[in-house]
Amino acid sequence: MSQAELPSDDVAGPEPQGCLAALLRLFGIRLPPAEVASADDRLPYRLTQRFLSAAELLERDDFVDRAFAAAGSDVLHVKVRTSYVLEDIRSQVHAALEKKEAPSVVAASKGSTPDCPNCRTPMIQRTASKGPQKGNQFWGCENYPNCRATVPIR
């Protein structure tokens, strides 16, 4: 076969009928072939074997990295393999956790506004309205009630 005659890896063959059609064939029921759309009715899309191209995968990875960074979270990238060894994954996770310092909630002084330890936004000075701390002031996340992080004021 010449290079021009080789089928493209990206383009699938005839439209598959699916597993229901295969089950129906077991009982002697055949579905009519799908109608082929005319050139005017076709969309500029075609069935491919891959959902995302290589460039789109890189863009997606970059987007995910930036989204997690904006949220103040880390991402552990594990290379794609046909199979994984649990101990390898476990050691990668432990190594990543050792690199990252555990976030410590440090009490802020009265003159400074701390950032939320969870979502990294400036906190707001609040006063407890109920409970054992009623009347006491504390720093609360501005994203409350979505984020309930607090820091004591000293």
Q: Are residues 73 and 94 in the same domain?
A: yes
In this structure, what CATH number is given to the domain that contains residue 148?
2.20.25
What's the pTM? 0.32
Domain count, the chain: 2
Cβ within 8 Å of residue 17, ≥6 positions away? 31, 34
What mean pLDDT comes out for the span 130-148?
A: 87
Length of the chain in residues, anyone?
154
User: For residue 75, is it within any domain?
Assistant: yes
pLDDT at site 7: 47
User: For residue 134, is it within any domain?
Assistant: yes
User: For residue 8, is it within any domain?
Assistant: no
User: For residue 140, is it within any domain?
Assistant: yes
Q: Which domain holds residue 136?
A: 105-154
| Predicted confidence (pLDDT) per residue in 55-103, tens digit | 777 788 788 888 888 887 778 888 878 888 899 888 888 887 777 654 4
Q: Are residues 128 and 151 in the same domain?
A: yes
- State the chain's mean pLDDT as an integer: 75
User: For residue 93, is it within any domain?
Assistant: yes
Q: How far is CA 81 from CA 64, 92, 93, 132, in A?
A: 20, 15, 17, 53
What is the percent of the chain where pLDDT is above 70?
A: 75
